[in-house]
Amino acid sequence: MKLTNLTTSFAVAAIGTLLTGVILVAENQWAVIGALLAAAALSIVLARLKIGMVLASVLNESSAWVALLIPLGGVIIGFALHEEDFVLMMLATVLIYGLACVGLTIQFGYAGVINFAGAAFFGIGGYTAALLGEWGIPSLLIIVAGGMVAAAIGCILILPVLRTKGHYAALITIAFGLLFRSFLEVNHTLGGPQGLKVEGASVAGHSLLDGIQLGSFQASFYLNYVLLALGVFTICFILARNLEKSWIGVNFDAVREDPIGASVFGVNVAYWRIMAFVIGNFVIGLAGAIFAMMQNFIAPSNFTFSDSLIMLSIIVLGGLGNLWAILPAAILVVVMPEKLQEIGEFRILVFAVLVVLVLRFRPSGLFPRALRKFRREVAQ
Amino acid sequence: MFIRAMIAAAVMFGGVATASAQTKETVKIAFIGPMSGGNSAAGIGGRNSAELAVRLRNADPASKYNYQLVPMDDECKPNVGIQVATRVSTDRSIVAGVTHYCSAVAIATVDVYHRFRLPVVVWGAILPAITYGNEHKEIHRVNGSMLDEVRASTSFLTGLGYKKWVIVHDTTDYGNGFLRFFKERIAETNAEIVSSFGVSADQQDFSAELLKIKGIQPQIVVFAGLTPLGVRIRSQMERLGVDIQYAGVSGIMSASYVEALGATAEGTVSVHNGAPAESLPGGRMFVEQYGKAGFTDPAEPYGPYAFVAASLIMDAVEEVGPDREKVRDVLNATKDHESVAGPITFDDHRHHAVASTKYVAQDGHWVRWEDSLYASGQRHLKGQ
Amino acid sequence: MAILFEYLFNGAVLGIMYALVAVGFTLFFGVLDIIKFSHGDVLTLGAFSGLVSFLALQSLGLDLPVVGLVVVLAAACIVTGAVGALIGQAFIIPMRNASGFNILLMTLMIGTGIREAIRLFYPNGANPKAFPALLPKTPIEIGGVFFRLDSIVLLGLGFGVILLTNWLIRHTKLGLAIRAVAQDGDTAQAMGIPFKTIVLATFALGSALAGIAGVMHGIYYSEINFSVGLLLGVIGFSAAVVGGLGSIWGAIIGGFTFAALQTLWVVVFPDASGYRDVFAFTAIIIAMTIWPTGIIAERYSERV
């Protein structure tokens, strides 16, 4: 790996960390707008100078270690702001949504399996955490269980999703998302519309609800969740990245771009679509379980159709299939409406208009996915 | 009481003295309610009412502080509510909050307020568990609970001779809560609930449910849910020829119910946790001032409670200064505190019980039952 | 027995409204292979413009029975037709080479924008609004079966509009052009058919149907509110897909199927009425598994 690549990556990580910090901390409207404008200007300049594409391919080509820049940046922000409960909660929320979007990227970005029920699988993870939390099972196991249950329930949809294509498949997942929420509301065994309380996570006997205390250093308990989410996010990020770069990723690409061509060349289209769907749901379920533990409370209204849309907005705004774009887009989508509280009633309208404009004028997202460079990969 | 009055007087003098001597310190109070989405009418009415309380206080030269309302939107969604509640609670410049209209949000956020020790006064959510389901000293409520409404409604309707009920409820915590308490209460009377229908909060067509009800032929249809649904069900009863008396809960009692239904609204009965604002001495002041303040949206029925909640908080701040714990203690001890909604007293769970008032829709207005032409026998409800 | 006819009758009115929305979805899909999810909210816009035009008439003292209905319908159709064509012109045609999914998400957000704008900018827009009774509500009772005159007129109007649309597509020059574009846009263009004009005309036509559905909805329920489009959009889309995208008859079958599923559940299981959407959507997933491209399968059907 070239040294220039490494320095570029570091520079990008540093700028990203700084902007994230500013956007998270900014209380003043002008500071928020300033940081957003700076980010927008940066992305436009990058696109104009073609640096965007270069950057994307640099990040794409670089080794797995570069992905560790993300936890590095996250830890720096986390510790720099260790007393700011709200900011840390937003950061953790961004990471959790980012994690769910890693799952959606595997499904839709890689294998082209559309999923409009992201929030439903997120919710399945959350409800699993709520139910298992009562039995005193170790938290890390619960998180994994959340992913597994989400993947298992997702299997019900395999047959319909496999048999349908395009908009027909979209309807299947839309219908599942709607019926999932409707079911939770009318069925009382899972708390009904009032929802369930969820036990907070604890790692190695230390409850994450107690903030870290080391001498004069007193951190908010949300820092614990930031670190937890950061850890899981990084692991899934690296695994997804390796998946993309491996021969499995090539199969996914073939299945997405031309299923008929792929099957002619002996790629088992159905198999890879199932794989992507199940793995994706597993990751979304993980995210849901962590989310439920952090919030300590979940209700059906957390998992509506519009929440699924928010997740999809993140991956499409960022750039479909580009893992590196997830975090900047998640910051935009999760933090911005919160920061726009002052414009109160108008913020959903403003958000909708912004998403429409981005989709209209940058249809491949803010940070488009880099093209796969086959020769080099084969050489590796 | 006497000592308190002395303190208040002393505080007032002190306030005048400091106010004239220097510019007042600014104290922030949060307001949280649904300001976008389907329940935004109630949320905006509440925000305006709380804003009115703050403005009136700031215009009062005797007040020691300059108050500022920080309005936040919870979208009536628990996850958004938790985010907003955390944001408000961790902002040390905010002393207390006037919080939540939707019960699902209010119940989700109580732990957040407790964890960060922010005293709040609930202004619109009526699920009993919000105050009775925990021991958090931070949570108070001025607007009563659904128990008060169910009690009043059951004895009122059975007293009128309606013995065969059908309940239509929305499948949110609000409608389900009512269904549960109605069932408990009806079991103690000689009336019975012959059937109940759960409907989702965004449902548009009720022809299947209503035709089923037409077949059952109950004496009364009781609807537990909010205005938009209440309007749809009532107008579709008319369309399908379901000629049965219709009753609602406080959720339907808004100006837009009678506006949207016109003549069809006539004769709908309802209960609400609060006497008509106009009939109270303070209430008349509220209605006048609200009109004068030039808000474009109406206060909606729970507006006066948001006003009361904000006033209670400001009274406490005037008494002990902008300190969360002291404000909490003062709020905890509230007893016979005068307000536009009558004297406020918090019980051991910081809950203010109210006697629900019975209403009937008459000539395009909600009229107190006792003052109506129905009570005086000039008009008759269906099946009477 | 009488009550059974009432179920059927009211289910039919519901079905015809779903079908009108679904026909719009199917027309858009026919010409450009896209899903335009803002359709439901365009319907709301139609209902509200009808209401505004009625209030204007009323203030002029011109709210006569027949005139009122005609003006309200015309206003709704003009506004929705124009908005539909505008969305097509400004957002969809320039994007026709982007992935269909991008357009789906974009139009969903356009719909959210329209919905929020109505809520914010119509006076007291968050509250339900009374819709004028433009047709006589005279109750009629035949052999114990109760219905109202305007329900029958609405049912007739709905069927009439759908038949008219079908005739337009089958037997006019415009319809021929629309079918040509639906079959193969590039070839149609090479044959001298103005592609863009035809696509915009289709958008205007489909959206005008939503305008009519919006007014029907207003009259039938005597009430409109800013969020009716959200659910109607999802249901209309489901109906179009279940019936088979691209086929008008498929949309009609889909619309009636959905209405039947919802009504049937409540009739059979009144105590579990809350589960009716769970049931309807489960049935749709199963139906899609059995007929992956809709009941009227796409590849055998003639695309409109």
Question: Residue B235 and residue C11: Cβ atoms within 8 Å?
Answer: no
Q: Can you read off the two tokens belonging to residue C183?
A: 């079959």
pLDDT, position B12: 46
Residue, of C101 and C1, whose pLDDT is higher: C101
Distance, in Å, from the CA atom of B207 to the CA atom of B243, rounded to the nearest integer, reads: 14
Distance, in Å, from the CA atom of B191 to the CA atom of B195, rounded to the nearest integer, reads: 12
Rounded mean pLDDT of C182-195?
87
pLDDT, position A62: 66
The count of structural domains within chain C is: 1
The CATH superfamily of B147-272+357-371 is Response regulator (3.40.50.2300)
Q: Is residue A39 part of a domain?
A: no
**3-state DSSP assignment of residue B199:** strand
Read off the CATH number of the domain in which A321 is found.
1.10.3470
pLDDT, position A279: 95
Residue, of A121 and B335, whose pLDDT is higher: A121
Can you give the pTM of this predicted structure?
0.84
CA distance C149 to chain A (A): 35
pLDDT, position A215: 67
- Pick from C22, C76, C23: nearest CA to C54: C76
Question: Which burial class, exposed, middle or buried, applies to B340 when counting CB atoms under 10 A from its CB (0-12, 13-18, 19+)?
Answer: buried
DSSP classification of residue C96 = T
Is the pLDDT at B140 greater than 70, yes or no? yes
Q: How confident is the model at residue B74 (pLDDT cuts 50, 70, 90)?
A: confident
Segment B19-26 long-range contacts (CB within 8 Å, at least 24 positions apart) = B19/B61, B19/B62, B19/B63, B19/B64, B23/B66, B24/B63, B24/B64, B24/B65, B24/B66, B25/B64, B25/B65, B25/B66, B25/B322, B26/B65, B26/B66, B26/B67, B26/B68
The runs of H, that is alpha helices, within A187-268 are 222-245, 247-257, 259-264
Q: Is residue C250 part of a domain?
A: no
Which residues make Cβ contacts (< 8 Å) with residue C171, sequence separation at least 6? none
Question: Residue C289 and residue A159: Cβ atoms within 8 Å?
Answer: yes
Given a contact cutoff of 8 angstroms between Cβ atoms, the answer to whether A249 and A83 are in contact is no
pLDDT digits (tens, 9 = 90+) for B171-196: 877 888 899 999 999 999 989 999 99
Distance, in Å, from the CA atom of A282 to the CA atom of A147, rounded to the nearest integer, reads: 4
pLDDT digits (tens, 9 = 90+) for C204-241: 999 999 999 999 999 998 888 888 888 889 899 999 98
Rounded mean pLDDT of B80-84?
86
Q: Is residue C279 part of a domain?
A: no
Question: Which burial class, exposed, middle or buried, applies to B66 when counting CB atoms under 10 A from its CB (0-12, 13-18, 19+)?
Answer: middle
| Domain extent at residue C160 | 23-227
The values of phi and psi at residue B222, to 5°, are -105, 125
Distance, in Å, from the CA atom of C249 to the CA atom of C268, rounded to the nearest integer, reads: 28
Is the pLDDT at A380 greater than 50, yes or no? no
Is the pLDDT at B22 greater than 90, yes or no? no
pLDDT, position A295: 85
pLDDT digits (tens, 9 = 90+) for C44-96: 999 999 999 999 988 888 777 788 889 999 999 999 999 999 999 999 888 88
Rounded mean pLDDT of C119-123?
87
CA distance A329 to chain B (A): 19
- What is the pairing mode between strands C223-224 and B65-73? unpaired
Residue, of C10 and A351, whose pLDDT is higher: C10
pLDDT, position B280: 67
| Domain extent at residue A302 | 82-345
Size of interface A-C (CB pairs under 8 A): 118
Is the pLDDT at B36 greater than 70, yes or no? yes
Q: Which residues pair with B368 in a beta bridge?
A: B359
Looking at CATH, the fold of the domain delimited by B2-145+276-332 is given as: Rossmann fold (3.40.50)
The count of structural domains within chain A is: 1
10 Å Cβ neighbour count for B297? 18
Range of lowest pLDDT (A234-243, C6-15, C75-84, C144-153): C144-153
Range of lowest pLDDT (A216-225, A263-272, C38-47): A216-225
What are the sequence ranges of the domains in chain B?
Answer: 2-145+276-332, 147-272+357-371
Rounded mean pLDDT of B74-93?
86
Q: Contacts of residue B48 in chain C, CB cutoff 8 Å?
A: none
Q: Can you read off the two tokens belonging to residue A325?
A: 């774009």
Q: Which residues pair with B141 in a beta bridge?
A: B122, B351
pLDDT, position A46: 66
> Choosing among A29, A186, A194, which should be mutated to test the B contact, i.e. which has the most B CBs within 10 A?
A194
Q: Is residue C149 part of a domain?
A: yes
Q: Is residue A68 part of a domain?
A: no
Question: Residue A349 and residue C116: Cβ atoms within 8 Å?
Answer: yes
Query: ipTM of the assembly?
Result: 0.85
Residue, of C98 and B184, whose pLDDT is higher: B184
Q: Is residue C244 part of a domain?
A: no
Q: Can you read off the two tokens belonging to residue A323?
A: 């893992």
Rounded mean pLDDT of B43-61?
93
Q: Contacts of residue C267 in chain B, CB cutoff 8 Å?
A: 208, 212
Chain C 115-134, residues with CB within 8 Å of chain A CB atoms? 116-117, 120
Share of chain C above pLDDT 70, in %: 97
Question: Residue C232 and residue B236: Cβ atoms within 8 Å?
Answer: no
In chain C, the N- to C-terminal Cα span, in Å, equals: 40
CA distance C213 to chain A (A): 22
Is the pLDDT at B278 greater than 80, yes or no? no
